Amino acid sequence: MKNKTAVTLLCASLCSTYSFADDDKVIYLTFDDGPINATSGLIDALDEAQIKATFFINAFHMYGEGDENEQHSQLALAKLLNSGHLLANHSYDHMLHNCTDGERSGAVYCNEVGLWPVKSYQDASTDYDYFELNTQKVLALLPNAESFPNFKMRTMARLPYTNAWRVTKTFKGDGLCATSDNLPPWDPAFSCDPQVSTNSSQVAVKISDKLASEDYKVYGWDFDWGPVNWGVDYPAETMADGIQMVESINQIVNTCPGKTMDPVNSRTQNLDCSDGLAANKVVILTHDFLFEDGPRGQGATINLPKIKSFVEYARAEGYRFDTLDNYAPQWQQNRQYEATNFVSYQDKIYSVLQAHYSQSNWQPSNTPALWLLEK
């Protein structure tokens, strides 16, 4: 590139040929809290539906430290990588090292006392380290995992419990009522004022900022595909079906739903969607354990078929499915880019500074006159 004038002239001659589709509607199906035994069947269902998903994993399951059916979780993770689904970071132990009475801690203890989102974040430096520990624990068991292009554990994260976002300089927010210092959010006495957020939530904010400063993209969610009623004996059997899912998504797309979703602990109180990157996109959160036959109900029998029907109904409504590394589309050469566009390149997101028609040697990292690194 010699100068900006050359770019402008080239654009003038070719701009009418290439443009981004304004009506491209995308669903990003994401799964938290694996890998567990059920992850393997889940991958089969996704492959049958011919979509790829994003998995935010906690490696402690592969070391038998979780409280799920997880004896075959290492095999499930290897299958996940080989199947091309995205592997992202959810911290090593879901922050359950902070669920403690001073003597006991961890998943089994926390499930016994039911205090998962209480004091979940306590020290920003220590808790942040559990994301890198997560990566190291995966590589200790699967040393070649980092060679897979779908291994994103050092560039993509989701915080446990809290609906936090760090995607661009503008598109970010925090779940300021996600965890408390005394009561779980479902306790009738729980209340939250985001203006005087809890210590636990404020520590989570610091961790999100630290992740972003280290070139992670932090993704929350727009819709929680979970049980309609967690209070029944078999909550997994109350999940919405494919038609209901599409109806819900049609209602929330382009509403910046994180700001208004219920319950309040799922909400992103200060989310800013104004830069337009979230347009026509819906990130769906669900969990591996909701798709197994077990103590939460017949999740595999009832819910695995819902994946295929959901995909079919969504496609009929004009949606396509993708993984979160393409939340901003991948940069391409010979493409017209306008000032409102974002792209992904080498696991980073860039915004257009000057409209142009891209050339083979105009990669975003090489052309700061054309692209702004969003960090």
Contacts of 147 (CB under 8 A, 6+ apart): none
Instruction: Give the per-residue pLDDT at 86.
Output: 98
> For the residues 30-59, what does the mean pLDDT come to?
98
pTM for the model stands at 0.92
Mean residue pLDDT of the chain comes to 92
Q: Annotate 134-145 with b (16+ C-beta within 10 A) or e (fewer).
A: bbebbeeebeeb
Asked if 342 and 336 touch (Cβ cutoff 8 Å), the reply is no
Going by pLDDT thresholds of 50, 70 and 90, the confidence category of residue 357 is very high
Mapping DSSP onto H, E and C, the string for the chain reads CCCHHHHHHHHHHHCCCCCCCCCCEEEEEEEEEECCCHHHHHHHHHHHCCCCCEEEECHHHHHCCCCCCCCCHHHHHHHHHHHCCEEEECCCCCCHHHCECCCCECHHHHHHHCCCCECCCCCHHHHHHHHHHHHHHHHHHCCCHHHCCCECCCCEECCCCCCCEECCCCCEECCCCCCECCCCCCCCCCCCCHHHCCHHHHHHHHHHHHHHHCCCEECCCCEECCECCCCCCCHHHHECCHHHHHHHHHHHCCCCHHHCCCCHHHCCCCCCCCCCCCCCEEEEEEEHHHHCEECCEEHHHHHHHHHHHHHHHHHHCCEEECCHHHCCCECCCCCEECCCCEEEECCEEEEECCCEECCCCCCHHHCCCCEEEEC
The model's pLDDT over 67-77, given as tens digits with 9 standing for 90+, comes to 999 999 999 99
The answer to whether residue 227 scores a pLDDT higher than 90 is: yes
Structural domains of the chain, ranges and CATH numbers in brackets:
25-326 (3.20.20.370), 329-374 (2.10.10.20)
Instruction: Give the per-residue pLDDT at 22.
Output: 55
Q: What is the distance between the alpha carbons of residues 165 and 205, in angstroms, rounded to a whole number?
A: 10
Instruction: Give the per-residue pLDDT at 103.
Output: 86
Instruction: Give the per-residue pLDDT at 147.
Output: 97
Going by pLDDT thresholds of 50, 70 and 90, the confidence category of residue 195 is confident
Q: Which residue has the higher pLDDT, 111 or 21?
A: 111
From the number of C-beta atoms within 10 Å of its C-beta (0-12, 13-18, 19+), residue 61 rates as buried
> For the residues 358-363, what does the mean pLDDT come to?
96
> For the residues 7-29, what does the mean pLDDT come to?
52
Contacts of 100 (CB under 8 A, 6+ apart): 106, 109
The answer to whether residue 10 scores a pLDDT higher than 60 is: no
Q: Annotate 172-209 with b (16+ C-beta within 10 A) or e (fewer).
A: bbbbbbbbbeeeebeeeebebeeeebbebbebbbebbb
Instruction: Give the per-residue pLDDT at 348.
Output: 97
Instruction: Give the per-residue pLDDT at 6.
Output: 34
Q: What is the distance between the alpha carbons of residues 257 and 270, in angstroms, rounded to a whole number?
A: 12
The answer to whether residue 161 scores a pLDDT higher than 70 is: yes
Instruction: Give the per-residue pLDDT at 3.
Output: 37
The answer to whether residue 143 scores a pLDDT higher than 90 is: yes
Instruction: Give the per-residue pLDDT at 101.
Output: 87
Q: Which of 164, 270, 139, 254 minimizes the C-alpha distance to 216? A: 164
The answer to whether residue 105 scores a pLDDT higher than 90 is: no
Q: Which residue has the higher pLDDT, 15 or 215?
A: 215
The model's pLDDT over 261-314, given as tens digits with 9 standing for 90+, comes to 999 999 999 999 999 999 999 999 999 999 999 999 999 999 999 999 999 999
Q: What is the distance between the alpha carbons of residues 36 and 70, in angstroms, rounded to a whole number?
A: 4
> For the residues 110-120, what does the mean pLDDT come to?
89
Instruction: Give the per-residue pLDDT at 281.
Output: 98
